[in-house]
């Protein structure tokens, strides 16, 4: 194999299996391995044109007769939260966010397991072990970071951050034109606090501060209740057959 062949991605297709989002349909994925010998520009190009990253795999839906999965990204500089989003923001005003290197901890894993067991016990992550979680966080060839959200006690100082209750965690990639939210989870005991919404809002604010124009939310699937929340973050762009297409504007609910 020549050096040029090593740098060019080889693509594979998974076998059909039941779609986890649309009953009665089958899903397949087109994927390639992300390795350190692949040019960073190539990896970034994949992740800004519809591919998603899971550990060292970049994948895109490749389903026969179905194009329901659509990549979505928020237009950071134009985004304005609606009324319910502002309520979520205010409700979580005591949370403090801290960016860290992609280093997994047992505290994170316990929160992750509690979240999965409470909300996705029948999903593909139901059997993940501490080793699986470690690989999910660490196995990356690009700039990846964690954001920990902790509840600040009334009498605490910032020096005590690591001892504050951990309420939520987001795993993200930094791309050339935005932040890609890979996976996030939160304390299921606070399910009514709107932590999922809050984490997206906080990353939109973070992207704005550091001058990145997009926050990538992964795939929106029309007809899937699990994915419906992504349509709320407008204005946004959805990836069409040839280009990103603008959809909607922020508005009061």
Domain boundaries, the chain: 3-67, 72-247
Residue count (the chain): 253
**Residue 99 CA: distances (Å) to CA of 105, 130, 147, 157, 237:** 14, 21, 4, 18, 26
Are 247 and 97 spatial neighbours (Cβ–Cβ below 8 Å)? no
The reported pTM is 0.91
Please give the residue that has the higher pLDDT: either 52 or 155: 52
The CATH label, of 3.40.50.300, 1.10.1030.10, 3.40.630.30, 1.10.260.40, for the domain at 72-247 is 3.40.630.30
Q: 35 by DSSP, 3-state: which?
A: coil
Residue partners of 133: CB distance under 8 A and separation at least 6? 104, 108, 109, 112
pLDDT (0 to 100) of residue 250: 47
Q: For the sheet with 11-13, list strands across it.
A: 11-13, 29-33, 57-61, 52-54
pLDDT in tens, 48-84: 999 999 999 999 999 988 999 999 999 999 999 999 9
Closest CA to 115 of 72, 47, 167, 163: 167
Q: 89 by DSSP, 3-state: which?
A: helix
């Amino acid at each position: 194999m020549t050096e040029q062949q090593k740098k060019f991605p080889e693509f594979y297709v998974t076998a059909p299996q039941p779609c986890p989002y649309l009953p009665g349909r089958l899903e397949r994925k087109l994927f390639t391995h992300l390795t350190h010998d692949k040019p960073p520009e190539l990896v970034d190009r994949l992740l800004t044109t519809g591919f998603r990253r899971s550990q060292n795999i970049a994948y895109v839906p490749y389903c026969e007769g179905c194009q329901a999965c659509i990549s979505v990204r928020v237009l950071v500089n134009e985004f304005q939260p609606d009324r319910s989003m502002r309520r979520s923001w205010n409700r979580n005003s005591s949370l403090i966010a801290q960016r860290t290197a992609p280093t997994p901890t047992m505290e994170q894993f316990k929160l992750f397991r509690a979240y999965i067991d409470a909300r996705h016990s029948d999903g593909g992550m139901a059997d993940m072990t501490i080793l699986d979680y470690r690989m999910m966080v660490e196995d990356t060839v690009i700039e990846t970071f964690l954001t920990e959200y902790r509840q600040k006690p009334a009498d605490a100082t910032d020096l005590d951050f690591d001892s504050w209750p951990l309420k939520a965690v987001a795993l993200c990639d930094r791309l050339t034109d935005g932040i890609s939210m890979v996976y996030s989870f939160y304390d299921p005991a606070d399910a009514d606090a709107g932590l999922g919404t809050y984490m997206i809002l906080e990353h939109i604010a973070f992207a704005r501060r550091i001058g990145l124009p997009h926050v990538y939310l992964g795939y929106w699937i029309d007809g899937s209740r699990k994915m419906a929340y992504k349509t709320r973050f407008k204005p946004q762009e959805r990836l069409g057959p040839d280009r990103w297409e603008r959809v909607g504007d922020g508005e009061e609910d």
